Structures are given as C-alpha cells and as structure tokens.
Amino acid sequence: MAMIPASQLVLTPDGAVYHLKLFPEQLADTVILVGDPHRVELVSSFFDDIEFRVSNRELNTHTGYYRGKHISVISTGMGTDNIDIVLNELDALVNIDLKTREVKKEKTSLNLIRIGTSGALQSHIPVGESFVAGEMALGLDGLLYFYEEAMQVIEKDFTDAFIAQTSYPDFLPRPYAVKASEKLLKQLAPGCITGITATSPGFYGPQGRVLRLEVVDPLMNKKIEDFSFRNQQITNFEMESSALYGLSRLMGHEALTICLIIANRVTEEFAGDYQPYMKKLILQTLDRLAEEGS
C-alpha cells in the first residue's frame, strides 16, 4: 500500500495525530462526542476509572471505564469543520498504521455517539426535558460533497424532496441527508423522540436568527418546520450531525446523535437550568452502552 505523505497525514513530533494529540492506545472503540470541552469532565466524572487525559485547543479527551465498558469522551468544539478534523483523526488512529503511514488491511469500526444540545423545530417538542435522537441528519453545510464517494451514502430521494419543497436557493451549498446507525438507534434511542436532525453551518443567519443582519430567506425555518417526506419531519437544528453521519458511513463507523432540547424555535422558548437533564441524558447513554458491553 502507498505511504500517506506527511503533509496529508499530519502527526506531532512524537507521532500522535496532530489535532487530537492522541496515540492509538489512548482511544476506546466506543467514543462519546460532545461540543463543549467542559462537558468532557462532566461525562468522565461518572467513570469508575480514567486511564488517559489529553488536551489540545478545544479538543479534550478522557478515556476510561464505566461499569466495565471502555469508553472515550472527546470534545469537538462547534461545527462540521471541527467534525471533519476529529472524524478523520479518529479513523486514522484505528485504521492507519501511524508509523508506516499505510492504511491497515483489517479495518476497525468505532461507535460514535454525539451528546449535545439543540433547538426544536416542531412546536410539540417540550423544552428542557426532551431527548431527540436523529434517525437521519440533513446537512446544510456542504461538507460531505468534498469527498468523492459522498453520493453512495446520501439519501437522494429525501434530499431532492427537501430542495423541492423548500425552494432551496441554488446559490447555497446543496443539502444532503444521511442515515444514522440502525444499531445505535436500537440500542440508545428507546424513550427518545426520533426525527430528522438538521445541521446548520452557523448559529445565527444559517439558523434564521436576526440580530443586525437580515437573512436571505426569512421563511426558511417555517419551510423546514412544514417539510414532510414519507411521514418524516425535521425535528431539530444543531451544527455537527450531518458531517458525523456522512463521514462515519463513508469510513465504516457507527454514528448517532442524541440531543437535549434547550430551545424551541417555533414557540421561542429557551430553557433555563437544563443541566440536570443533561446529566440524565449522559447517565442514560452510559448505562445503555455498559449494558451492551456486559
């Protein structure tokens, strides 16, 4: 196999992947991804033992054990651009020999579970207490189209229906829809609301928020709210899942996002102290992961 050049597989002087600063032995096969670096410590506070703590920029990693299950928790920061970095480096840790710079013949599949916060796009979803598992992610960011095999994992019928129903402007990045892991949905989503998670490339204008700058289409959020395809609706907005789902499917990993709803964009409600519910979501996820590993 061809050796990957140093300018493409970028490593630290001591041989770790460049941004995460991790070595293969510091990563578990089950990884919880969070946006907020401080949430890493919250998740790992429930671990029985922590083996490794690694930090670089906003990318913090704790690897340890919860009820005998080997788990890493990693902060990604916000946005699909950060997910692109994190996913490629996680895949490199398990599927590329970092010493020879060659792709391994035998591939490892990671379980990647994003726990985050989100805004509901349907009025019936309560704020502050609802957990939404994205059975599909709708990307408004365009990132996946930079990869040659993107069309192999994109749900074309859903994507085309969304573009048509919303009259989506052709000067914006073309949307794309990708399914979550069926395995992780079955394992982790019982009791959660399920739906389509829309992934935005920004927090303000791309999600229809207006401060001083007007948006291109003031009705876009309403169009997204009203969209329906084969009895599927878009339930919530966030900023990472489309890249997580798309890259995971291209690389052979399992991925799922579960979000705590802290705002409702239809009713304009915003949660106050949602931390007790975030702890509940984290513990629920950890317990279900541990049950699968026992």
Say how far residue 167 (Cα) sits from the centre of its chain.
Answer: 26
Query: Is residue 2 situated within a structural domain?
Result: no
Query: Is residue 246 situated within a structural domain?
Result: yes
> Over the stretch 236-278, which tens digit does the pLDDT of each residue have?
999 999 999 999 999 999 999 999 999 999 999 998 889 999 9
Query: Is residue 13 situated within a structural domain?
Result: no
Judge whether 118 and 197 are in contact, CB under 8 Å.
Answer: yes
Residue range 147-176: mean pLDDT, rounded? 98
> Over the stretch 10-50, which tens digit does the pLDDT of each residue have?
999 999 999 999 999 999 999 999 999 999 999 999 999 99
Query: Is residue 12 situated within a structural domain?
Result: no
Q: What is the reported pTM?
A: 0.96
Query: Is residue 167 situated within a structural domain?
Result: yes
Task: Show the domain range for 260.
Answer: 24-293
**Per-residue DSSP letters for 30-83?**
EEEEESSHHHHHHHHTT-SEEEEEEEETTEEEEEEEETTEEEEEEE--SSHHHH
Query: Is residue 14 situated within a structural domain?
Result: no
pLDDT of 293 above 70? no
pLDDT score for 272: 80
Query: Is residue 226 situated within a structural domain?
Result: yes
Residue range 97-104: mean pLDDT, rounded? 98
Residue range 88-110: mean pLDDT, rounded? 98
What are residue 63's DSSP bridge partners?
Answer: 52, 72
Instruction: Mention every residue, 6+ apart, whose C-beta is less than 8 A from residue 260.
Output: 115, 116, 117, 118, 128, 130, 131, 274, 277, 278, 281
pLDDT score for 210: 96
* CATH number for the domain harbouring residue 262: 3.40.50.1580
pLDDT of 170 above 50? yes
Distance between CA 150 and CA 146 in Å, rounded?
8
Query: Is residue 18 situated within a structural domain?
Result: no
> Over the stretch 45-70, which tens digit does the pLDDT of each residue have?
999 999 999 999 999 999 999 999 99
pLDDT of 166 above 60? yes
Task: Indicate the pLDDT class of residue 294, thresholds 50, 70 and 90.
Answer: very low
Q: What's the total number of domains in the chain?
A: 1
Judge whether 17 and 92 are in contact, CB under 8 Å.
Answer: yes
Residue range 120-130: mean pLDDT, rounded? 94
